Amino acid sequence: MDKDKYRIIKIGKEALYEFIYEKFIENQEEYLGVNALEVMNSFEIDFQNGNFIFIAHKSEDENENIIPLPKEIDLVKLMDKMGDTTSTMFGKDRYIELSLKEIIDIQERKIATYRGDVMNRIVKVVIDRPLGSYHPKHKDIYYSVNYGYVPGIIAPDGEEQDAYVLGINEPIKELIGKVVAIIHRNDDVEEKWVVVPQGMKITKAEIQEQVNFQEKYFDSLIEMLI
């Protein structure tokens, strides 16, 4: 190239998303942890709002029959209802795995899910229902974990964001910890965050067991990064 010349590429949204899609196809193993020969993929683009969703699933069953994307999955609706799975493509936790039921639950919710802006966020939880206390209105609900709220964060119900604090087996007044999960209630406007001490690992099954004392009264879905 001539030293007095400059090479320039300028593209529109269509070409930009085409480029992004091709990069996804070329790097499925890195981005999604799957072999491109073993999966089928689908994608949708929202040019107006600048959103992109890419979904991969197993390509064949045990009888080598092609497995299409289930008709219940509406990628346009899912893209609208689901929050970002990551805030950067250069991080470790880029993708999540959801069952068909979980995908449908997200599609049918009236509010979008969170992820990139909430998952793994470090927050302060003020405890107003410590471990060993009872619900102020429902005396049959005994708090086997610490429970409180995140000051300054307004939840979908208009109140400060509620949070379960797991991983501490004694009553506390507050905790600065990490958000590892969000509990959506399909039959209630409220959502609960799950916060643990920084550095602690916890599974969805462990969360389910520890919050069941209260969530058993609701149709709840636990959302977390894998």
- On whether residue 117 sits in a domain, the answer given is no
Question: Using CA atoms, how far apart are residues 118 and 37, in angstroms rounded to an integer?
Answer: 33
Instruction: Kindly give the confidence (pLDDT) of every residue in the chain, 226 residues in length, as a single tens digit, with 9 standing for 90 and above.
Output: 788 888 888 888 788 888 888 888 788 778 877 776 677 878 888 877 778 888 888 888 777 778 888 899 999 988 887 777 776 777 666 777 788 887 887 787 654 555 556 777 888 999 999 999 999 888 889 999 999 999 888 777 778 899 999 999 999 999 999 999 999 887 777 889 999 998 899 999 999 999 999 999 998 888 886 5
Please report whether residue 178 resides in a domain. yes
Q: Indicate whether 41 belongs to any domain.
A: yes
Q: How far apart are CA 139 and CA 189, in angstroms?
A: 22
Domain range for residue 31? 13-108
**3-state secondary structure (DSSP) of residue 74:** coil
Please tell me whether residue 135 adopts helix, strand or coil conformation.
Answer: coil
Give the DSSP H/E element, type plus range, for residue 176: strand 174-185
- Would residue 1 count as lying in a domain? no
Tokens 């600048």 belong to residue: 50
The pTM for the full model equals: 0.55
